[in-house]
Structure 1
Amino acid sequence: MNLSGGPACLKYLLFSFNLLFVITGVVVLCVGAVIQSYYHSYSYFLDDKFFSAPALLIAVGAIVLIVSFFGCCGAVKENHCMILTFSVLLLVVFILELSGGIAGYVLRDSARDFLKGKLNESMHKYDSSIETQEVWFGLQTTLKCCGNNNYTDWESVFHNTSLPLSCCPRSHGAVGTDECYINSTNIYEDGCLKKFGTYVMDHAATLGGAGIGIAFIQLLGVTLACLLARHIRRKYESVS
């Protein structure tokens, strides 16, 4: 059975959109994987909930690639069952992507308060934990920051004017003293809460935008698939 006119246009339009779905699936998967990797670098400071949204988008991206197969085959073969299956699966993907996007924005709103408590808690473990010293060294060196709100926060940890070496940048190859104090002239003045919070919130916003934006592209695919399935069913009914 060959469709003609409007239904034929729907058929080729749906097939074309499936190519777009493959691209969006790859994009969603890559966005989730990249942000998961970024968050993993600071997993000591982050809760499991920060990894759930990117993990969801990675899973959704993989599912989209599989779902697109049903759409392509159903459109080419004009198979009502496959197109209907494609519509249902794509609707599920839409819900998952929308959930991932909303989760990203929710994390963005709650990130700063969570990080403030986590950073403050870990600072007071600095003297007793080598792991804490290493993660703070990486955080302050990478983000060029010092302390939670600023470098004076370390006074409550060391109870003197000394600071972690990572609070004082040194030129490459320079021979300097292994000391860093509050009165040093080359201290990172920005607090890590500000910089790390911005880092996490920006990536959470990217997750939210990618999830919600692409979800509505998928919704258009659901609409096209449903229209095509209806036309195919009517064609079958008129033939029988």
Structure 2
Amino acid sequence: MAGVNGCIKYSMFTFNFLFWLCGILILALSIWVRVGSDSQGILNSTDVGSSSHVAADILIAVGAIIMIMGFLGCCGAIKESRCMLLLFFIGLLLILLLQVAAGILGAVLKSESDRIINETLHDNTELLSTTGESAKQFQQAMAELQKEFKCCGLINGAADWGNNFQQHPKLCECLDMQRSCTTYNGTQVYKEPCISTIKDLLAKNFIIVIGVAFGLAVIEILGLVFSMVLYCQIGSK
């Protein structure tokens, strides 16, 4: 009977080693998106913040599973274990199907999520002008966002801060003559509100997630082909 093709065997091992590294990369990237997003503090106390955590949490789980699957595939290839290869194939197929389902669901719900984000940001404008303890975290996150991205307020510029602007007049102070500035209560402030910046940050993270998922799908399909070919070759020994 025919033996196992060495090229296929070691290609499978190399592939799964790279697959394992991809799992580490996805895990690290998803954790960064989960806790290191610049807009995280803005959405942290809202329903959108909770919803945005779900996608990152799913990617964290996927990254961890891929690391396990890569290890399983490496062992299956080196030891020529049909059981490990079959488990690898089934697990990889399930992950691929879940990714496809998540992609379809994300595309269907995209317009709805955009509407929810708009409504949430408009509602949260009131938090900038209040003095309660519950609003301080949001205001601090907004102050850091304004300083980093040279914008002011959420929707209506400096006016969103209400009376709080008098206590902190340097919140939106515009010192960069190359940027568009306007005068508010005798102070030069950034003219552009931060809503567009927040939307751009969310869109950037979404594109990162889509790019990772697409690249991962290609790798997974190759993994399915390699594992099944090797599985059949081991069975014909």
Question: What pairs up with 1:142-157 in 2 under 5 angstroms?
Answer: 142=145, 143-151=149-157, 154=160
Structure 1 contact 14–71 (Cα < 8 Å) conserved: yes
Q: Match for residue 34 of structure 1?
A: 32
1:59-208 equivalences under 5 Å are 59-99=61-101, 112-125=114-127, 126-127=129-130, 129-142=132-145, 143-151=149-157, 154=160, 158=162, 165=169, 167-169=171-173, 182-208=184-210
2:152 match: secondary structure: coil
Find the counterpart in structure 1 of residue 11 from structure 2.
13
Deviations 1:97-131 (A, max 9, x none): 44556666677655543232112212224325333
Give the structure 1 partner of residue 178 of structure 2. none
SS in 2 for 1:187: strand
Q: Which has the larger radius of gyration?
A: 1
Partner AA of 1:87 in structure 2: F
> In the alignment, which residue of structure 2 is the partner of 1:44?
45
Pairwise CA RMSD:
3.1
Is the Cα–Cα contact under 8 Å of residues 56 and 96 in structure 1 kept in the other structure?
no
Is the 1:14–1:224 contact (alpha carbons within 8 Å) kept by the matching residues of 2? yes
Instruction: Please identify, of 96-105 and 114-123, the stretch whose mean Cα deviation from structure 2 is larger.
Output: 96-105
In structure 2, list runs of 5 or more residues that go unmatched. 176-182
CA separation of 1:111/1:182 partners in 2, compared to 1, >3 Å: closer, same or farther?
farther
Which one of the candidate residues 197, 202, 219 is aligned to 2:221? 219
> Cα–Cα, structure 1 residues 152 and 23, in superposed 2: closer, same or farther, change >3 Å?
same
- Contact in 1 for aligned 2:12/2:77 (Cα 8 Å): yes
After superposition, give the CA deviation of every residue in 1:214-238 in whole Å (9 maximum; x if it has no partner): 1221121011101111121122xxx
Whether 2:9 is the aligned partner of 1:3: answer no
- Taking a change above 3 Å as real, the CA distance of residues 152 and 164 of structure 1, as seen in their structure-2 partners, is same
The residue type paired with residue 91 of structure 1 is L
In structure 1, C-alpha distance between the alignment counterparts of 2:60 and 2:2, rounded to whole Å:
37
Deviation readout 1:164-213 (Å, 9 max, x if unpaired): 64642377xxxxxxxxx724442121112101111111111111211222
Q: Partners in 1 of 2:107 and 2:207 — Cα distance?
A: 6
Count of aligned pairs: 222
Structure 1: 5+ residue stretches without partners: 172-180, 236-240
Residue 25 of structure 1, aligned match among 17, 23, 26: 23
- TM-score for both structures, normalised by structure 1: 0.78
Q: For residues 3-25 of structure 1, what are the alpha-carbon distances to aligned partners after superposition, in whole Å with 9 as ceiling and x for unaligned?
A: 35xx3221111011011101110
Instruction: Provide the C-alpha distance between the structure 2 equivalents of 1:128 and 1:103, rounded to a whole number of angstroms.
Output: 39
Q: Does the aligned pair in 2 maintain the 1:94–1:216 contact within 8 Å?
A: no
Q: Does 1:233 align with 2:211?
A: no
8 Å CA contact 2:92, 2:224 repeated in 1: yes
- 2:180 maps to none
Equivalents in 1 of 2:211, 2:106: separation in Å? Answer: 8
Q: Deviations over 1:41-92 (max 9, x none)?
A: 3312433221111111111111111112221111111111111111111112
3-state SS of paired residue (1:148): coil
> d(CA) in 1 for partners of 2:152 and 2:26?
34
**Does the 8 Å contact 1:28/1:210 carry over to 2?**
yes
